[in-house]
Chains A and B, each alone.
Chain A
Amino acid sequence: MASEPQGGLTEYIQHHLTHLTPHASNGGFWAVHIDSITVSLVLGVLFCLLFWLKARKATAGVPGKGQAFVEIVLEFVDGQVKDVFHGDRRFLGPLALTVFVWVFLMNAMDLLPVDLIPWITEMFGVGHFRAVPTADTSMTFAMSITVFVLIIFYSFKAKGFSGYMSEMFTAPFGKHPLLWLPNFALNLVELLSKPVSLAMRLFGNMYAGELVFMLIAGLFSAGAGLAGWALYGAGIIGYTVWGLFHILIIGIQAFIFMVLTIVYISMAHDHH
């Protein structure tokens, strides 16, 4: 983003909303968001490593604090899956755990000061760096489309090709041939709305959260003199309050993403 005259808040926010992409890509297919990919990978590896280490050293006796924490998270997720899905949880359980912890960790990046990571990366000559992968539609859609593929896979697996197709054409209204098309249209909308709503909900919350952080951060450089310092204090208070509120949001959004994933996939198993 090259900088235009007005400077100030608009430029500040625009700067912060620009993803890190390879220079040569020019916005084409290869304009991958290196920042989202890097942060999500690092956090994913962190999650796997932590849980793997604790699981490897798990004892049947009194658990250590780390193991107890992992167990609590695991039990919580498994309880949610058990409530919704009454089948073999060997795949859905780990999927829900991964979704929950990974999304939570990525959301938690929102709590880091918005300027901290860009400031660090800038020292290595990287100007744009957005640290919250879930405030990037690429990331949220990547996850929700994966869930979408799983929904379709489990629909076929649970009902068979003909079963699923007959459901698509005869479900909610009836079996009459005239109703086939309306049925199919409705089912298609229902099916396609799942990944879109899943991705947009998470993205919207995180993007808005990040934006509010930036707007509040604008107070830090809003004025000079006494008024400037007053705004600076207000900025610190506002930033902190929004941060506290955001602790709630990151947990809730991770939870919602997990629960909806479970619900969608268990719906794929249900027969109408």
Chain B
Amino acid sequence: MLPNGTLIGEMISFAILIWFCVHFIWPHINKAIEDRQIKIAEGLNAAERAHAELKDADHKVAAEIKVARQQASEIIDKAQQQANQIIDKARGEAVTEINRLKASAQDDIASMAQRARDLLREQVGALAVQGASKIVQREVDASTHKALLDQLAAEI
């Protein structure tokens, strides 16, 4: 059965309708679909990227901690060395100071002994002169015999 004019007219209108849908309605629907696809793809990508970044950050943190720990132990070592050095230095200084003090004390002792010996010698000299004058029963002029007495005192 052939289509009549009514059906042909309706088909022409229908074709125009389809054309309209293809050009003015479908693009909007298609855009909504593609926007959704893009949005989902972006979301998934972002999530993946964030995941990778987190992993990266974790690795970085671990490395940093390792370095920090190493540095800390190095600092401790250095500090210990320094402390040892300071102690050694202080010990050395103390020893030299002790030696110095000991030497000066010995010097003092030696000079004091010398002085005491000199004093003693003079007094012995005087005693000897006195003794000799008493024995000789006469005045011995100390000044005339000074050279003799000095020699005597030095011999003691």
Query: Assuming A68-B33, A69-B33, is B10 touching A62 (CB within 8 A)?
Result: no
Contact B9 A217 (CB under 8 A): yes
| A181 CB–B CB distance under 8 Å | no
Assuming the contacts A63-B40, A112-B14, A119-B3, asked whether A244 and B20 have C-beta atoms less than 8 A apart, the reply is yes
Residues of B within 8 A of A217 (CB): 6, 9-10
In the assembled complex, how far is the CB of residue B139 from the closest CB belonging to chain A, in whole angstroms? 140
Interface positions, chain B 7-22, Cβ under 8 Å from A, are 7-14, 16-17, 20-21
Bin chain B's interface residue count. Answer: 20 to 34
A220, B5: Cα distance in complex, Å? 6
B147 sits at the interface (CB 8 A)? no
| 9-residue interface stretch from A87-95, A166-174, A183-191, A234-242 | A234-242
- The digit string for A224-256, where 1 denotes a CB below 8 A from any CB of B, is 000000001001100110011001000000000
Decide yes or no whether B142 CB sits under 8 A from chain A. no
Q: Which residue of A lies closest to B8 (CB)?
A: A220
Q: Is B44 an interface residue (CB 8 A)?
A: yes
Which chain A residues numbered 113 to 129 have a C-beta less than 8 Å away from chain B? Answer: 113-116, 119, 122-123
Residues of A within 8 A of B (CB-CB), count: 30
Query: Known contacts being A239-B10, A240-B13, is A232 close to B37, with CB within 8 Å?
Result: no
Q: How many A-B residue pairs have CB under 8 A?
A: 84
Q: Which residues of B contact A65 (CB under 8 A)?
A: 30, 33-34, 37
Known: A68-B36, A68-B37, A244-B17. A221 touches B5 (CB 8 A): yes
Contact of A69 among B3, B5, B29, B40 (CB under 8 A): B29
Q: Please tell me if the beta carbons of B44 and A122 are within 8 angstroms of each other in the complex.
A: no
Q: Which of A48-89 contact B (CB under 8 A)?
A: 61-63, 65, 68-69, 71-72
Taking the complex as formed, is B90 at the interface, i.e. its CB lies under 8 A from any CB of chain A? no
The 8 closest A-B pairs by CB, nearest first: A113-B10, A239-B13, A220-B9, A220-B6, A115-B7, A68-B33, A240-B13, A62-B41
Question: What are 25 of the A-B contact pairs (CB < 8 Å)?
Answer: A63-B37, A65-B30, A65-B33, A65-B34, A68-B34, A68-B36, A68-B40, A72-B33, A111-B17, A115-B7, A115-B10, A116-B7, A116-B10, A116-B14, A119-B7, A217-B6, A217-B9, A217-B10, A220-B5, A221-B4, A239-B10, A240-B16, A243-B13, A243-B16, A247-B17
Interface residues of A (CB under 8 A from B): 12, 61-63, 65, 68-69, 71-72, 111-116, 119, 122-123, 217, 219-221, 232, 235-236, 239-240, 243-244, 247
Give me the interface of B with A, judged by CB distance under 8 Å.
1, 3-14, 16-17, 20-21, 25, 29-30, 32-34, 36-37, 40-41, 44
